[in-house]
Amino acid sequence: MPVVEVSGVSHTFGEASARRTVLQDVDVRFDEQRVGIIGANGSGKSTFARLLNGLIVPTEGSVTVDGLTTARHGREIRRRVGFCFTDPDAQIVMPTVGEDVSFSLRSTDLTKEQIRIRVDDILGRFGLEGLVDHPSHLLSGGQKQLLALAAVLVTEPALVIMDEPTTLLDLRNAQMIGDVVAGLDTQVVLVTHHLDLLDRFDRVLVFDEARLVCDAPPGQAIDFYRRLMS
Ligand X SMILES: Nc1ncnc2c1ncn2[C@@H]1O[C@H](COP(=O)(O)OP(=O)(O)O)[C@@H](O)[C@H]1O
Residues that bind Mg ion (CB under 5 A): 45-46
Is 174 within 8 Å of 194 (Cβ atoms)? yes
DSSP run (H or E) holding 218: helix 218-229
As measured in angstroms, the least distance from the Cβ of 51 to ligand X is 10
As measured in angstroms, the least distance from the Cβ of 116 to Mg ion is 36
For the packed helices 141-153 and 112-125, what is the interaxial angle rounded to 10 degrees? 130
Question: Quick one: which of 15, 16, 17, 20 contacts ligand X (CB under 6 A)?
Answer: 20
As measured in angstroms, the least distance from the Cβ of 94 to ligand X is 27
Residue 226, classed as helix, strand or coil, is helix
Calpha distance 208→202 (Å, rounded): 20
Instruction: Using the minimum distance from each CB to ligand X, give the nearer residue, 38 or 97.
Output: 38
The site string for ligand X over 23-42 (x = CB under 6 A, - otherwise) reads: ----------------x-xx
Instruction: Using the minimum distance from each CB to ligand X, give the nearer residue, 41 or 230.
Output: 41
Closest residue to Mg ion in the complex (CB): 46
In 3D space, the residue among 214, 225, 182, 188 whose CA is nearest the CA of residue 200 turns out to be 182
- Is 47 a binding residue for ligand X by CB under 6 A? The answer is yes
Question: Quick one: which of 2, 9, 38, 45 contacts ligand X (CB under 6 A)?
Answer: 45
Is 51 within 8 Å of 58 (Cβ atoms)? yes
- Taking residue 3's Cβ as centre, other Cβ atoms within 10 Å add up to 13
Summarize as ranges the residues that interact with ligand X (CB under 6 A). Answer: 13-14, 20, 22, 39, 41-47
